[in-house]
A = this chain, B = another copy of it.
Amino acid sequence: MSGQSREPAEEAAAEVRWLDPDELAAWMTFSALMFKLPAALDFQLQRDSGLSHFEYLVLAGLSEAPGGMRRMSDLAGFANGSLSRLSHVVKRLEERGWVQRRPSEEDGRITVAAITEAGFEQVVAAAPNHVTTVREYVIDTLTTAQLRQLHEIGEQILDRLDPGRSC
């Protein structure tokens, strides 16, 4: 708070449009969902495959890329994480023998991560259970219409969060 000049509470409150009961209820639900669903997915992956969701995304991102390889910043974007976080995680995955890194030949600044045979087996083993869980928790709870709605709602919010992601 310290950076800003704040008016006393009442004055600030006067300008704020608080959430009405419907809005609040919807937000509380959605907000709880945003905390619990990732936790549930993480739990399932950890239990069944010994992977965090982030690690799974990294391996999945590599396994579906051409040649099983991808540059770090690309992967970081795919897995929705910072480059620094990815770097640490890939180091651990490398220690477990599932990924290898080497500098790109075209541009020495770029690091290319490549999935190994063992890493590929790991994703192939993890994917069925994971997809089944995603179906169970999300996809199959919704009607086709709801899925379309969710897709659209998601796009709208993402556009607002990060304007200029589709230009």
A contact set with B: CB distance below 8 Å:
1-4, 6, 9-10, 12-13, 15-19, 22-23, 25-27, 29-30, 32-38, 40, 48-50, 60, 63-64, 80, 121-129, 131-132, 134-139, 141-142, 146-162
Contact = CB atoms under 8 A, between A and B. Distances in A.
Contacts of A134: 19, 27
A10 B125 contact: yes
A15 B128 contact: yes
Count the copies. Answer: 2
Nearest to A120: B9
B27 A139 contact: yes
Contacts of A49: 1
Contacts of A142: 153, 156-157
Contacts of A19: 131, 134-135, 139
Given A1-B50, A1-B63, A23-B147, A6 B157 contact: no
